[in-house]
Amino acid sequence: MPRKRFRLSTREIALIAVFAALIAIVTRLPGIPISLGIPTGKIEFSVPLYPLAGILLGPWIGALAVTIGNLIAWLIPKSTVLGFLFIPAGALAALSAGFLSRRAKWANWKGAGVLLAILIALWYVTPVGREAPLYPFFLHVPALILILICRGKISEFVNSASRRLVTVGVGIASFVGVMADHMWGNVMFITALQYVVDMKAFRDALKNLGMAIALGFSANNPIPDWVYQMVTNPTLGNYFMLSIPVAAVERIVFTAIATVISVGVIMAIGRLFFARSEA
């Protein structure tokens, strides 16, 4: 029996081109700088498009569209080592969200759970993971727990005729997607740190931040040990723990944007995207 070849339909090629172009265009927007004392990057408005691509196009086609769009965005107008390492983040987000919104043999909630679990495990492989072992428990582990609790219900919600259920399913899938993107970005940032961040400037910034916190304590309310340690011996783990509130707000906003757009498209022309399951 001849082996079945993977082929893209004309419709799929057109959708890939549209999403890739949209991602490349949106990445040209200025974004919101984030620093916490040092220039570490910016919030990209292309992130909500990653789970959106996975939900609407399916995990494989969506991941391909996102990868092409991010590759184009990386090449124009300038390229960096960190930017190259971040390219797979969008594809992982599309895969995670796409897996959760489909019920095919090779695309379902189990794939999303395994993928996110691997990304969380990668955190603990890094030295920073051992400095800040609780970091994933604020955002990433809750996303994994949602997958394990809801399982196949997520795809049922996404494919439901009820707008409320669609919103719930898409919201969970989008949240998991943006958290997969976030964890890959964290691990790659740590990996490329020696190339993009001046460690002396980083430590000085953490010391300044620690001193600012310490000023809020008096003799009657002595400085806690954790503040003292951050002031005298700042680590990258301190930075990540301090960034949790910023990351939480950022990821919730991304989830909301992706959810609103996805639900609107699904309710309006959902048959175009969910005519068949991804195999």
Asked if residue 34 has pLDDT above 50, the reply is yes
On whether residue 203 sits in a domain, the answer given is yes
On whether residue 94 sits in a domain, the answer given is yes
Do 128 and 200 form a contact (C-beta atoms < 8 A)? no
Mark whether 134 and 208 lie in a shared domain: no
Residue linked to tokens 């890939």: 16
On whether residue 191 sits in a domain, the answer given is yes
Mark whether 73 and 121 lie in a shared domain: yes
**In angstroms, how far is CA 45 from the centroid of its own chain?**
12
Do 159 and 277 form a contact (C-beta atoms < 8 A)? no
Please classify residue 162 by burial: count the beta carbons closer than 10 Å to its beta carbon, then call 0-12 exposed, 13-18 middle and 19+ buried.
Answer: exposed
Residue 234 tokens read as 């700042």
Mark whether 137 and 238 lie in a shared domain: no
The CA distance from 169 to 182, in Å, is: 20
Going by C-alpha positions, the residue among 187, 182, 180 that lies closest to residue 113 is 180
Mark whether 140 and 211 lie in a shared domain: no
Asked if residue 232 has pLDDT above 70, the reply is no
On whether residue 113 sits in a domain, the answer given is yes
Give the pLDDT score at 203.
57
Asked if residue 224 has pLDDT above 70, the reply is no
Length of the chain: 279
Q: Residues with Cβ < 8 Å from 155, sequence gap 6 or more?
A: 100, 101, 102, 103, 108, 109, 169
Q: How confident is the model at residue 277 (pLDDT cuts 50, 70, 90)?
A: very low
Is this model's pTM higher than 0.85 or not?
no
Do 139 and 182 form a contact (C-beta atoms < 8 A)? yes
Please report how many Cα atoms fall inside a 13 Å half-sphere around the Cα of residue 164, on the Cβ side.
0
> Rounded mean pLDDT of the chain?
81
Do 72 and 118 form a contact (C-beta atoms < 8 A)? no
The CA distance from 94 to 100, in Å, is: 10
Read off the amino acid at residue 147.
Answer: I
On whether residue 250 sits in a domain, the answer given is no
Give the pLDDT score at 236.
77
Give the pLDDT score at 248.
92
Total domains in the chain come to 2
Query: In CATH, what number is assigned to the domain containing residue 36?
Result: 1.10.1760
Mark whether 172 and 226 lie in a shared domain: no
CA dist 188 → 55, 86, 192 (Å): 25, 7, 6
Mark whether 145 and 214 lie in a shared domain: no
Q: What is the pLDDT of residues 102-149, one digit of tens each?
A: 877 767 899 999 999 999 999 999 888 888 899 999 999 999 999 999
On whether residue 1 sits in a domain, the answer given is no
Residue linked to tokens 């609780």: 134
Mark whether 224 and 185 lie in a shared domain: no
Mark whether 63 and 45 lie in a shared domain: yes
Mean pLDDT across the stretch 43-63?
89
Mark whether 77 and 44 lie in a shared domain: yes
Domain holding 224, by residue range, is 198-242
On whether residue 267 sits in a domain, the answer given is yes
The CA distance from 102 to 51, in Å, is: 13
Helix (H, G, I), strand (E, B) or coil at 271: helix
DSSP state, residue 42: E
On whether residue 70 sits in a domain, the answer given is yes
Mark whether 189 and 202 lie in a shared domain: no
Read off the amino acid at residue 215.
Answer: L
Mark whether 164 and 190 lie in a shared domain: yes
Mark whether 53 and 143 lie in a shared domain: yes
Do 179 and 260 form a contact (C-beta atoms < 8 A)? no
